[in-house]
Amino acid sequence: AKAGLPAYIFIPATIELGKIVQMLIYGPNVIAVEGTYDDANRLASEVADSHPDWAFVNINIRPYYTEGSKTLAYETAEQLNWQVPDHVVAPLASGALLCAISRGYKELERVGLVDKADFKISGSQPLNCSPISTAVQSNSEVVPVRNFETVAHSLAIGNPADGYYAKKTILDSGGFAASPTDTEIIEAIHLLARTEGIFTEPAGGTTVAGLKKLVESGHIQKDERVVVYVTGNGLKAQDTLLKSLQRPPVIKPMISEFERLFAPKLDIHEQKAAVAI
């Protein structure tokens, strides 16, 4: 926008409103495509190919953009006093993010900033669109999926470009992959908000839900030092999350109205306070 370059942005028609607003405010041409991220990505590529003087952002303008995700590993190691976690859990869409995080830790070892990058890396992908997770779980080829629907729209890539590399990265490290349901993803979002004060979108909920499943299945041990990458702010997916929340009650501006509505809860809180004293 600042450079005054015209832009045509292709998005799935099902994308969350919060993400669309962030695009529209800059004044580009936003085109909602009936279908998935795969469909929007394919159409964008075809349109770019049909105009020789156009550039497809994800390919010929920034061919190394996924390398930037390696900084997640750099920052994590720095915050851990230049130590590498025992186990890392990352969300899976195209598979590029997980691969970049793994490379980041290995590069730190190569340049001597950490003694040894000995870690496992696992992925989490929504059950309704889980080509990579399924391949990891069955140790088979990554098979594209179609006609899927999940609350984790940003992870809904049925034909992941880096699926092969993500699967190899996971299995070579000794990691595994989880496939939480949409219900488990939403529950994980609520859990993270209530216990850590972090509001994430379904992509982050997928990772937290995946962590729970990996611990329950024994693929992650409770004594391991684990880092879970929670990507995406919940403000981007408010319309999706509203369905799982209760609307606030409406009362008149009177204390009697408040006490009438919350008397049972107030009694419980007072009992807890008395016990604490």
* CATH number of the structural domain spanning residue 171: 3.40.50.1100
Residues 95 and 195 in one domain: yes
Percentage of the chain modeled with pLDDT above 70 = 94
Residues 254 and 237 in one domain: no
pLDDT band at 244 (very low <50, low <70, confident <90, very high): confident
Partners of residue 120 on adjacent β-strands: 87
For the four alpha carbons of 205, 168, 139 and 87, in that order, the dihedral sign comes to negative
Angle in degrees, 0-180, between the axes of helices 71-79 and 96-110, rounded to the nearest 10: 50
pLDDT at position 61 is: 66
Q: Report yes or no on 216 lying in a domain.
A: yes
Residues 32 and 127 in one domain: no
Instruction: List CB contacts of 57: < 8 A, sequence separation 6 or more.
Output: none
Helix segments in the chain, DSSP class H: 17-24, 37-50, 71-79, 96-110, 131-138, 163-173, 182-196, 202-216, 238-241, 255-276
The per-residue pLDDT of the chain, averaged, comes to 92
Residues 191 and 129 in one domain: yes
Question: CA angle, 18 as apex, 247 and 184 as ends, to 5°?
Answer: 60
The reported pTM is: 0.86
Between 18-32, 48-62, 166-180, 220-234, the lowest mean confidence (pLDDT) is in: 48-62
Which SS3 state, helix, strand or coil, does residue 233 take? Answer: strand
Q: Structural domain tally of the chain?
A: 3
Domain of residue 276: give its range.
Answer: 248-277
Of 44, 61, 78, the residue that ends a domain is: 61
Residues 136 and 12 in one domain: no
Residues 108 and 181 in one domain: yes
pLDDT (tens digit per residue) in 85-114 = 999 999 999 999 999 999 999 999 999 999
